Amino acid sequence: MVGKPVGIDCKILPKECSSKGYTGGDDDDRISELPDDVLVVILSLLSVKEAASTSILCSRWINLWKHTNSLDFDGDAALYKTARLKKELQFNERRKYVRWVNSIIQSHKSHTIQKLRIQFFLRKEEADTLTKWFEYAFSRQVPSLEIDLSPPNFIFFGSPGPNYVFPQEFTNSATCFDLKHLKALSLKFVTVTREAIEFFLNNCPFLEKFIVHQTESMSKLEICGSSLALKHLELCYFFGLDSVRISAPNLTSLTIRVFSELILENVPMLDELRVGCGYSDFSVKKLLPAYSAYISQLKSLTLLLNNLKGSTDLCKFPEMPKLKKLVIAYCSVGEDSLLPLTSLIRASTRLHEFVLKAISHLSCFCFGFGLSSLWHIKQELMT
């Protein structure tokens, strides 16, 4: 049963509306005087459920929501109340939600959409459904695509692995989809191969934001190209990856952990850096050589350390004359001395903001195994 639509005062809407706007003389009815194109823009600002519920208002509104330019399916929020149900009932509710998403996508009539966001855990049996959603997004030439299949209350250790691997057929050079419109791509808890990463870099010439959380085992990765439009890059949960080489002339923001070999070349625009350093003494030694040529141009630096004990290499940081924001997140294990951080602060001669955050032991445990959960820590830092 569809309830009263959120964000619209039903009392000012007449029972009947013409396709060109209401002309019945009700001076209080301003919404119906707007053209359809404007109403579609307004509906695009609502959630999918809210926009779809406006179809009950009158005949004119029945199909308006089907032409919105964005689709945002936040299943985590929609299914939050089912968390206390038995597992079988939870599965039933999730199946209903997946069917609802499918029905919305099948009903949607816009030939292009600006954004598609899907955020909820998908079971292994439903993997084929996500393939169809990718096909829908690519066929609609979506500029912004965000897929987050992380389980509720996600903690990496103890949680099941990804149920979905990005399909090999999309990486085929003979693919019929035109991806030139894609500007922002975020794939979380979707296993991505090196071939898939190369596919997006080679076929999305205007890709500016690229986020990947989870890859298939690979030892070497290169993200290079003099013509790359890439501005924001985030690489997390890359298992077995030892060597990373990045060369992107337009890159301004990088989120990554310190690998055994990390090579940065031709990143003259880089001014925001978030790095997971793992065990601090070991990783900070590798951090400095990798970023030494670009540290002086940074405006924002976030370091994620397992602890502060023995962080002698923090004292070797060169001067950072442009740095305005410094964030240190570390695992608190007893009484830690903050003295190693004073050299960082002294090196930041124009620092405007300094944030020090102690994080949970579990998070540190994850970083010790070479994981980079900077996204989750960033959310925590904002609380």
Q: Encode pLDDT of 89-120 as tens digits.
A: 777 877 888 888 999 999 888 888 999 999 88
Per-residue confidence band for 214, with pLDDT thresholds at 50, 70 and 90: confident
Buried b (16+ CB within 10 A) or exposed e, 339-376: ebbebbeebbeebeeeeeeebeeebbebbeebbbbbbb
Chain mean pLDDT for the chain: 77
Taking Cα atoms as reference points, which of 181, 230, 238, 237 lies closest to residue 210? 230
CA atoms within 13 A of residue 38's CA, in its CB half-sphere: 8
pLDDT at 337 over 50: yes
What pLDDT does residue 200 have? 93
Question: Percent of the chain beyond pLDDT 90?
Answer: 26
Tell me the average pLDDT across 35-43: 88
Q: Is 127 helix (H, G, I), strand (E, B) or coil?
A: helix
pLDDT at 246 over 90: yes
What pLDDT does residue 21 have? 45
Taking Cα atoms as reference points, which of 120, 128, 127 lies closest to residue 83? 120
Taking CA atoms, 198 is separated from 179, 218, 222, in Å, by: 13, 13, 9
pLDDT at 59 over 50: yes
Tell me the average pLDDT across 299-326: 81
Tell me the average pLDDT across 309-326: 80
DSSP code of residue 369: T
Phi, psi of 33 (to 5 degrees): -80, -15
Q: Is 12 helix (H, G, I), strand (E, B) or coil?
A: helix
pLDDT at 2 over 50: no
C-alpha span between 374 and 276 (Å, rounded): 7
Cα angle 372-325-343, degrees, rounded to a multiple of 5:
90
Q: How far separated are the first and last CA of the chain, in Å rounded?
A: 36
Pairing of strands 261-265, 253-257: unpaired
What pLDDT does residue 5 have? 40
More confident site: 287 or 5: 287
C-alpha span between 383 and 371 (Å, rounded): 22
What pLDDT does residue 206 have? 96
Tens of pLDDT, residues 142-175: 999 999 988 765 544 444 556 688 888 787 755 6
pLDDT at 192 over 80: yes
Compute CA 49 distance to the chain's CA centroid, rounded to the nearest angstrom. 22
HEC profile of 184-241: EEEEEEEEECHHHHHHHHHHCCCCCEEEEEEECCCCEEEEECCCCCCCEEEEECCCCC
Per-residue confidence band for 78, with pLDDT thresholds at 50, 70 and 90: low
Per-residue confidence band for 332, with pLDDT thresholds at 50, 70 and 90: low
What pLDDT does residue 178 have? 86
More confident site: 31 or 320: 320
Q: Tokens standing for 78?
A: 């929609």
What pLDDT does residue 3 have? 41
Q: Where does residue 77 rank: exposed (0-12), middle (13-18), buried (19+ CB within 10 A)?
A: exposed
Tell me the average pLDDT across 128-144: 91
Long-range residue pairs from 48-51, CB within 8 A, at least 24 positions apart, any chain: 48/72, 48/73, 48/104, 49/78, 50/5, 50/6, 50/7
Q: How many other CB atoms are found less than 10 A from the CB of residue 20? A: 11
What pLDDT does residue 257 have? 75
Helices (H), the chain: 36-44, 48-53, 75-78, 87-107, 127-139, 194-203, 280-291, 339-347, 361-368, 374-381
pLDDT at 243 over 60: yes
Phi, psi of 303 (to 5 degrees): -115, 130
Q: Tokens standing for 289?
A: 């050589």
What pLDDT does residue 369 have? 33
Phi, psi of 167 (to 5 degrees): -65, 140
Lowest-pLDDT choice from 32-46, 283-297, 330-344: 330-344
Tell me the average pLDDT across 306-324: 76
What pLDDT does residue 380 have? 40
Most confident of 4-8, 74-78, 170-174, 261-265: 261-265
What pLDDT does residue 312 have? 65
Q: Among positive and negative, which fits the CA dihedral 132, 150, 78, 85?
A: positive
Tell me the average pLDDT across 333-356: 83
Q: Tokens standing for 181?
A: 């419109």
What pLDDT does residue 29 have? 64
Most confident of 9-23, 250-264, 304-318: 250-264
CB 327 within 8 A of CB 301: yes
What pLDDT does residue 348 have? 92
The DSSP line for 145-167 is: EEEE-PPTT--TTTSPPPS-B--
Q: Tokens standing for 360?
A: 């949970």
What pLDDT does residue 382 have? 38
CB 54 within 8 A of CB 8: yes
C-alpha span between 105 and 108 (Å, rounded): 5
What pLDDT does residue 280 have? 42
Taking Cα atoms as reference points, which of 255, 261, 264 lies closest to residue 237? 255
Full-model pTM: 0.80
More confident site: 20 or 210: 210
